[in-house]
Amino acid sequence: MIIIVAFIFSSRFSISAQETVKKEAVLEKVSQIDSYVRQIRGYLHERPELSAQEFETSRFLQEEVEKLGLTVTKVEGTGFYAVLDTRRPGRTIGLRTDIDGLPIEENPFNLKQRKQWISKNEGVSHACGHDGHMAILLGSIKILNDLKDQLTGKIVFIFEEGEETNSGIHAMIEALRPLQIDAIYGNHLNSKLNTGELFIQEGPIMAGTGTIAFDVIGRGGHAARPDLSINPIFAAANILNGVSIAWNNQRDITKTLTLGVTQIQGGETYNVIPNSVYIGGTIRFFDKEEGEKGFELLRKVAGDIARAHNCTVTFHDKMGVALNPVVNDPVLTVFTRNAIKDIYSDKVISGDQHIWYAAETFARYSELAPAVFLFVGIKNDELGSGAEHHNDRFDLDEDALQYGVGAMVQFAVQYLHSYTE
């Protein structure tokens, strides 16, 4: 009996007395795997795949993870996750990457010179930096796996299908619910920030988004007798004018709500009045309630003006809020900022001018646990990186990847170490 008690005491003592990984050790590990991370990024950049079609990408990533002795759990589609279990009591954290490319033919030149890596898949490219995100997570996995004897708890490595089209996020969220994650961390490369800058800020940092999609329906006929038809084109034109006026006069101008109408489609030839006109676009917002109000206003104005023209409006099922804003948990953000400043004291920045109007499925992870999302700068004027995301000249400075890896590893090490029984 005495022997058993002594064993239990010894085990508990070794956990509570465990020292955190020193920042020098983290930086050394980051330096050691830098070439691996660059190699991974280059390999993936040349082989981009569209959302929900990342079959070879997923296979490659799974093989890299399995080489470290981790078990892969597949999620519906091409997404998957893997768990590093330290076999010691502690918290459970999630580290996430997206894996899809875009339907953009890559320009072999960035803003200044020929790119180092160019897509080999016609019509598809990593024009948003997801190749870098995958490389950062794989590099972080290698380091954390090496350090697992000095860590507690569990780390869930998340590889999400189809961020660009939202195709994989629902299945991933449902798959992760049983794991009871305590905190989730993600990052996005950012072409507006200089190489190595790390943007960390509480509150909304990326916009929510919603889809505009409706048909204005009239009655087609011969252009020679417009009086015998009900022309939806004039109705559609007046709807767009009416919405733009209402946007400025019927909503709270102190809250950001962009109106991006990008499609108006109707008619096939010059002498035929069409039956209908399609209007499409998107709105962006940082306050979900304001986003919902925007759609209410749009529906009201469209319906009222259509009726004035003897037309009707049919709203598509997809019309409405699609994604909420990415909102960083304030407590977790302060913790993350302090942890990362310990290794990159001169790289951490904040400021509303860096808030991004793009949307991200990472917003959904806040349903599972407090979440924090960082921007990692990749802009280098001498190299020619700095083109907008979703642009054929988009490129990244691979020197930035080390900061992405270092920040992710430092967050994981410090957060897990902060656990006390």
Q: Is 43 helix (H, G, I), strand (E, B) or coil?
A: helix
Which three-class secondary structure string do you get for 193-251? EECCCEECCCEEEECEEEEEEEEEECECEECCCHHHCECHHHHHHHHHHHHHHHHHHCC
Decide which of 297, 322, 347 is a domain's last residue.
Answer: 322
Mean pLDDT for 10-15 is 33
pLDDT tens digit sequence for 137-170: 999 999 999 999 999 999 999 999 999 999 999 9
Q: Lowest mean pLDDT of 19-23, 179-183, 264-268, name the range.
A: 19-23
pLDDT tens digit sequence for 93-143: 999 999 999 999 999 999 999 999 999 999 999 999 999 999 999 999 999
Give the model's confidence band at 420: pLDDT under 50 very low, under 70 low, under 90 confident, else very high. low
- Are the C-beta atoms of residues 20 and 417 closer than 8 Å to each other? yes
Mean pLDDT for 26-55 is 98
Whole-number percent of the chain with pLDDT over 90: 93
Is residue 274 included in any domain, yes or no? yes
Is residue 307 included in any domain, yes or no? yes
Do 194 and 336 belong together in one domain?
Answer: yes
Is residue 245 included in any domain, yes or no? yes
Do 260 and 361 belong together in one domain?
Answer: no
Element (DSSP H or E) covering residue 162: none
Strand-pair category, 183-194 with 92-98: parallel
Q: Lowest mean pLDDT of 12-26, 67-81, 407-421, name the range.
A: 12-26
pLDDT value at residue 20: 76
**Is the pLDDT assigned to residue 4 strictly greater than 80?**
no
| CATH number of residue 279's parent domain | 3.30.70.360
Q: What span, in angstroms and rounded, lies between the C-alpha atoms of 341 and 99?
A: 28
Mean pLDDT for 234-251 is 96
pLDDT value at residue 5: 37
Decide which of 322, 338, 361 is a domain's last residue.
Answer: 322
> Would you call 154 exposed, middle or buried from its count of C-beta atoms within 10 A (0-12, 13-18, 19+)?
buried
Asked if residue 126 belongs to a known ligand binding site, the reply is: no
User: Token match 């918290």: residue?
Assistant: 91
Is residue 80 included in any domain, yes or no? yes
What is the DSSP code string of 63-113? HHHHTTTPPEEE-STT-EEEEEE-SSS--EEEEEEE---BS-PPPSB-SSS
First CA to last CA distance, the chain: 24
Give the model's confidence band at 8: pLDDT under 50 very low, under 70 low, under 90 confident, else very high. very low
Is residue 11 included in any domain, yes or no? no
Do 169 and 262 belong together in one domain?
Answer: no
Which residues are within 8 A (CB) of 128 and not within 5 positions of it... i.e. 6 or more apart? 101, 102, 164, 389, 390, 394
Asked if residue 222 belongs to a known ligand binding site, the reply is: no
Q: What span, in angstroms and rounded, lies between the C-alpha atoms of 217 and 274?
A: 9
| Alpha-helical runs (H) found in 250-329 | 288-308
Q: What span, in angstroms and rounded, lies between the C-alpha atoms of 69 and 255?
A: 49
Q: How many domains does the chain have?
A: 2
pLDDT value at residue 201: 98
Q: What span, in angstroms and rounded, lies between the C-alpha atoms of 313 and 302?
A: 7
Is residue 14 included in any domain, yes or no? no
* Four-residue CA torsion sign, 354, 359, 364, 367: positive
Asked if residue 130 belongs to a known ligand binding site, the reply is: yes
Which residues are within 8 A (CB) of 121 and not within 5 positions of it... i.e. 6 or more apart? 47, 48, 49, 101
pLDDT value at residue 1: 37
DSSP letter (8 states) at residue 360: -
Asked if residue 388 belongs to a known ligand binding site, the reply is: no
Give helix 130-146 / helix 23-32 axis angle, nearest 10°: 120
Do 137 and 246 belong together in one domain?
Answer: no
Do 36 and 119 belong together in one domain?
Answer: yes
CA geometry: angle 217, 219, 223, nearest 5 deg? 125
Whole-number percent of the chain with pLDDT over 70: 95
- Average per-residue pLDDT for the chain: 94
Do 217 and 189 belong together in one domain?
Answer: no
Q: What span, in angstroms and rounded, lies between the C-alpha atoms of 228 and 221?
A: 7
pLDDT tens digit sequence for 171-225: 999 999 999 999 999 999 999 999 999 999 999 999 999 999 999 999 999 999 9
pLDDT value at residue 12: 31
- Are the C-beta atoms of residues 329 and 336 closer than 8 Å to each other? no
pLDDT tens digit sequence for 303-348: 999 999 999 999 999 999 999 999 999 999 999 999 999 999 999 9
Longest dimension (CA), the chain: 102
| CATH number of residue 73's parent domain | 3.40.630.10
Query: In terms of residue numbers, what domain contains 409?
Result: 22-205+325-417
Q: What span, in angstroms and rounded, lies between the C-alpha atoms of 395 and 177?
A: 35
Mean pLDDT for 260-266 is 96
Strand-pair category, 183-194 with 371-379: parallel
Q: What are phi and psi of 363, to 5 degrees?
A: -55, -30
Do 113 and 40 belong together in one domain?
Answer: yes
Give the model's confidence band at 18: pLDDT under 50 very low, under 70 low, under 90 confident, else very high. low
Structure token pair of residue 101: 């490319």
Asked if residue 133 belongs to a known ligand binding site, the reply is: no
Q: What span, in angstroms and rounded, lies between the C-alpha atoms of 181 and 155?
A: 9
Q: Which residues, in sequence order, are bridge partners of residue 160?
A: 98
pTM of the predicted model as reported, rounded to 2 decimal places: 0.91
Do 289 and 330 belong together in one domain?
Answer: no
Do 191 and 340 belong together in one domain?
Answer: yes
Do 338 and 269 belong together in one domain?
Answer: no
Is residue 359 included in any domain, yes or no? yes
Do 45 and 78 belong together in one domain?
Answer: yes
Is residue 16 included in any domain, yes or no? no
Decide which of 253, 288, 322 is a domain's last residue.
Answer: 322
Give the model's confidence band at 19: pLDDT under 50 very low, under 70 low, under 90 confident, else very high. low
Do 31 and 172 belong together in one domain?
Answer: yes
Mean pLDDT for 48-63 is 98
